[in-house]
Amino acid sequence: MDKQQLLDHAKIARERAYTPYSKFKVGCALLDGNGHVHLGCNVENAAYGPTNCAERTALFRAIADGVPRRTFQAIAIVGDTSRPITPCGVCRQVLIELCSPDMPVFMGNLSGEIEETTVGALLPGAFTEEDL
């Protein structure tokens, strides 16, 4: 699956977002080692703290479905932003915990702009299990 196809899946997931408060929809598509795509969207809550980002929804869904950590192949995120959307700090920490540091991260927006990086580049100096 190429990055555009993965971004297209993220756009589909974005439409499923539950955002009654911010109206800011984000979608994510996570490709596992078997070629399966796990979708995620942001899910808001009136208490704000329990709100979950699209990236964490996709990652947690895949882990719950039995996909072993560090076997993911790529992740794509899409939001209605002026530049390609980037994961928040919490999502960056979860990504470094569950994904390989060299895993590609495709970030896009609804205008079709795309930026590509890696999980490791998103969070230099990350706190990992080696630090415990």
Active site residues: 55
Ligand-binding site membership of 99 (annotated) = no
Is residue 109 annotated as involved in ligand binding?
no
- Determine whether the annotation assigns residue 78 to a binding site: no
DSSP annotation of 110? T
C-alpha span between 20 and 25 (Å, rounded) = 10
If DSSP codes are grouped into helix, strand and coil, which group holds residue 26? Answer: strand
Nearest-angstrom CA–CA distance, 49 and 66? 26
> 21 a known binding residue?
no
Q: What are the beta bridge partners of residue 40?
A: 28
129 is in an annotated binding site: no
28 known ligand binder: no
- Print the SS3 string covering 35-75: CCEEEEECECCCCCCCCECHHHHHHHHHHHCCCCCCCCCEE
Indicate the annotated binding residues for substrate: 42-48
Indicate the annotated binding residues for Zn(2+): 53, 88, 91
Indicate the annotated binding residues: 42-48, 53, 88, 91
